[in-house]
């Protein structure tokens, strides 16, 4: 029997993530009930589609899927999320009723990793600082006199968190002649060996790395993970990169260290999401701020659509999900 597929997300999300061509591969292997997404599970139109759906493809802003929704969806067996975290719309009822859940978090991790690797290479080459000097002096800049340690050869890069993003960063750094070390309490020495990285303590990582890149999930246990003590441990000239979440960092301590002039920072995320206009992070020359652009944007969104569509096609062939989300994983993932 052909499985029926429905979309559930705000219309603006569907337009951004699912251009018409992205849904074409679903048919004829599956039946797409409508190209218009369910935006409200309580409407008569939404419930009519729910009643026929075997697979629900969700996106950012999908309403919570709880007992009431599942009661209206007797055929539903799979929820395929075309984004990262499922914590905001997968209710306890889904796990209790055995609904299988998938996420495009791996697809969303790729552009974050690409951004991170670009910043690592630029940081070790001191490109941002040298460019600022050139813009300021508007004359010949003797780069090696300013930064005699510039370059990527055999520099140490510290990755905090062997998450999906962290692992993609490790993979993308493999062609470079860098030493990569990782701090992650859930990573075993055997897994680290397979990844080709050194496994070190968080304290050793921050005190001995030329670049420190944060890729841990935002959990109650990781709030202020990078506290004042760890920030103080970073060696002179280190670049700190955060593409995770601002709440993982003691931002006051980070700014105080930066204002001493011996630490650099690349911050794609902060707390709050948009800093107050008077924040000194905007004006300090050792800081590069970007407005959360590391994640999937523009044409990168279609990669997440393709991930969800491919999961649906796997189901149509009787195969298992490639990127399953399990309840037990949610305690230590974003």
Q: Answer whether 247's CB lies under 8 Å from 224's CB.
A: yes
Query: What is the mean predicted confidence (pLDDT) over 277-285?
Result: 96
| DSSP string over 183-194 | E-TT--HHHHHH
* Spatial separation of the C-alpha atoms in residues 91 and 69, rounded to whole Å: 10
Mean pLDDT of 205-229: 96
Average pLDDT over residues 21-25: 95
Task: Give the residue-averaged pLDDT of 40-69.
Answer: 97
| pLDDT of amino acid 300 | 96
State how far the Cα of 321 lies from the Cα of 74, in Å rounded to an integer.
Answer: 21
At 253, the pLDDT band (50, 70, 90 cuts) reads very high
CA triple 23-26-30, angle to 5 deg:
140
Strands (E), 55-112: 55-58, 78-81, 100-103
Q: Which helix (H) or strand (E) holds 267?
A: strand 264-267
Percent of the chain beyond pLDDT 90?
97
Q: What digits encode the pLDDT tens for the residues 168-215?
A: 999 999 999 999 999 999 999 999 999 999 999 999 999 999 999 999
Phi, psi angle pair for 47, to nearest 5°: -70, -30
Is residue 39 within 8 A of residue 88, CB to CB? The reply is no
Q: What burial class does residue 51 get, using C-beta atoms within 10 Å of its C-beta: 0-12 exposed, 13-18 middle, 19+ buried?
A: middle
Any idea which residue has 């050194």 for tokens?
A: 198
pLDDT reading at 310 higher than 80 = yes
pTM of the model: 0.93
Q: How many residues does the chain have?
A: 334
3-state helix, strand, coil in the chain (%, to 5): 40, 15, 45
Query: Among residues of the chain, what percentage have pLDDT more than 70?
Result: 100
Of 56, 60, 9, which is closest to residue 30 (Cα–Cα)?
56
C-alpha span between 112 and 296 (Å, rounded): 7
* Residues sharing a CB contact under 8 Å with residue 53, sequence separation 6 or more, in sequence order: 4, 5, 6, 33, 73, 75, 76
Assess whether pLDDT exceeds 90 at residue 259. yes
Per-residue confidence band for 20, with pLDDT thresholds at 50, 70 and 90: confident
Question: Span 272-287, mean pLDDT?
Answer: 96
**1: pLDDT strictly greater than 90:** no
For the chain, first and last CA: distance in Å? 35
Gap between the Cα atoms of 12 and 34, Å rounded: 16
Alpha helices in 104-250 (DSSP H): 105-125, 127-137, 143-146, 164-173, 189-195, 202-208, 228-233
| Per-residue model confidence (pLDDT) at position 332 | 77
Residue 105, SS3? helix
pLDDT (mean) for 53-69:
97
Given a cut of 90, is residue 112 above it in pLDDT? yes
The pLDDT of residue 334 is above 90: no
Rounded Cα–Cα distance for residues 208 and 202 (Å): 10
User: What single-letter DSSP state applies at residue 97?
Assistant: T
Return phi, psi of residue 230, to 5°. -70, -40
Q: In the prediction, which pLDDT does 4 show?
A: 98
- pLDDT, average across residues 293-316: 97
Residue 331: what pLDDT? 79
């Amino acid at each position: 029997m052909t499985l029926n597929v429905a979309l559930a997300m705000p219309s603006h999300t569907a337009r951004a993530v699912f251009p018409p061509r992205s849904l074409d591969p679903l048919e004829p292997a599956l039946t797409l009930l409508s190209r218009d997404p369910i935006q409200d599970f309580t409407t008569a139109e939404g419930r009519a589609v729910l009643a026929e759906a075997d697979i629900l493809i969700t996106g950012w802003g999908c309403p919570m899927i709880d007992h009431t929704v599942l009661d209206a969806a007797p055929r539903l067996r799979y929820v395929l999320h075309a984004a990262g975290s499922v914590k905001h719309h997968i209710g306890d009822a889904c796990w209790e009723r055995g609904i299988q859940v998938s996420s495009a978090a791996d697809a969303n991790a790729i552009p974050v990793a690409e951004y991170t690797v670009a910043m690592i290479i630029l940081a070790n080459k001191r490109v941002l600082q040298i460019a600022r000097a050139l813009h300021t002096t508007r004359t010949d800049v003797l780069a090696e006199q300013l930064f005699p340690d510039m370059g990527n050869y055999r520099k140490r890069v510290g990755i905090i968190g062997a998450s999906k993003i962290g692992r993609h960063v490790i993979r993308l750094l493999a062609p470079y002649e860098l030493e990569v070390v990782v701090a992650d309490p859930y990573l075993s020495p055997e897994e680290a060996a397979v990844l080709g990285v050194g496994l070190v303590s968080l304290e050793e990582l921050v005190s001995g790395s030329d670049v420190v890149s944060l890729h841990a999930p935002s959990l109650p246990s990781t709030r202020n993970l990078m506290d004042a003590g760890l920030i103080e441990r970073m060696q002179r000239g280190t670049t700190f990169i955060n593409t995770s979440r601002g709440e993982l960092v003691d931002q006051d301590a980070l700014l105080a260290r930066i204002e001493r002039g011996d630490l650099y920072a690349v911050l794609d995320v902060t707390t709050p999401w948009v800093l107050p206009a008077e924040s000194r992070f905007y004006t300090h020359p050792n800081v590069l701020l970007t407005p959360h652009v590391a994640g999937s944007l523009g044409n990168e969104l279609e990669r997440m659509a393709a991930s969800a569509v491919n999961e649906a096609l796997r189901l149509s062939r009787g195969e298992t999900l490639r990127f399953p989300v399990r309840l037990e994983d949610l305690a230590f993932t974003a």
